[in-house]
Amino acid sequence: MPPLLTALRPRQWTKNLLLFAGLLFTLNEGHTAQTWGRAGLAFTLFCLLSGCTYILNDIRDRELDRQHPTKKDRPIASGALTIPVAITFTILLLPLAVATGWYFLGNAFALCAVAYIAVTFAYSFALKNIVLVDVFTLAAGFVLRAVAGSVALPVRPSEWLLLCTFLLALFIGLMKRRSELVTLGTESPTRPILAEYSTGYLDQMITLVATTCVVSYLLYSFLSPTGRAHPYLMATAPFVLYGIFRYLYLAYQQGKGESPETILLTDRAMGVNLLLWLGSVVLAMLN
């Protein structure tokens, strides 16, 4: 069981907190305990779904992972988790998670779950080796999380939420590629797509996407219907700016951009900033 749990990559479950975004930005609607329960169930199911996709990806890339300085210690690459056990677990859990979502959260959530699985598999088996398509596919996975969290409540997914989610995920994906390129180089057998990138090219895209992401959030907090209805929402913008600047600092100055989930869990300044942003959003939406 410990190797199986490790293979599910609990550290990366922080990405699924995005499923609470729809709940967070509709707090003014007075959600019931049932709504909070639906959001919690959606989060749990996506943790299981994403964990299973990580296992299948690790099965496919086990030979390459054994050549990586850190991925070689993953349960499947190291041999701590056997392939038959891993495959049996995922074959049983994936349809169970989708069926549970369909039964308790509805058709729309189940469709999002199936689409997420399909996109993740397409990335693992083909799209991660196509320049630019790789990072756009990663961003699409985050957008599907945001949509799934909204339809599970159910509330209508905001186009502003989806736009900001896509741009932020694209920014993180590009930063991850840059950090991998600096660490592994263009000739890395574990990440062949890096040969298609250069630090200069990635820096240009990072600057463009980061700027667009900030502008989009500012427009949302100032000019969107939600921003006009809750004018204090503009006070959350400085925390968004600080979060992006802090991430740039950690990636460029300290070489930590390769693992976004580790930054979120271990960097104290980033954690405090996230809590301040959450608190300010709650206050803004309730006033």
The answer on 146 and 60 residing in a single domain is: yes
The answer on 133 and 87 residing in a single domain is: yes
The alpha carbon of residue 235 and the mean position of all alpha carbons in its chain are separated, in whole angstroms, by 25
The answer on 112 and 179 residing in a single domain is: no
The answer on 101 and 164 residing in a single domain is: no
The answer on 141 and 192 residing in a single domain is: no
Q: Residue 152's domain spans which residues?
A: 1-157
Q: Which two tokens stand for residue 155?
A: 């509330």
The model's pTM: 0.93
The answer on 187 and 153 residing in a single domain is: no
Mean of the pLDDT values across residues 31-55? Answer: 95
The answer on 164 and 153 residing in a single domain is: no
| Domain count along the chain | 2
Q: pLDDT grade, residue 281 (50/70/90)?
A: very high
The answer on 185 and 144 residing in a single domain is: no
* pLDDT, tens digit, 9 for 90 and up, residues 201-250: 999 999 999 999 999 999 999 999 999 999 999 999 999 999 999 999 99
The answer on 236 and 103 residing in a single domain is: no
Rounded Cα gap, residues 85 and 1, in angstroms: 10
Residue 79 near residue 55, CB atoms below 8 Å: no
The answer on 4 and 135 residing in a single domain is: yes
The answer on 209 and 127 residing in a single domain is: no
Q: How many helices (H) and strands (E) does the chain have?
A: 14, 0
If we measure between CA atoms, which residue out of 286, 261, 204, 264 comes closest to residue 11? 261
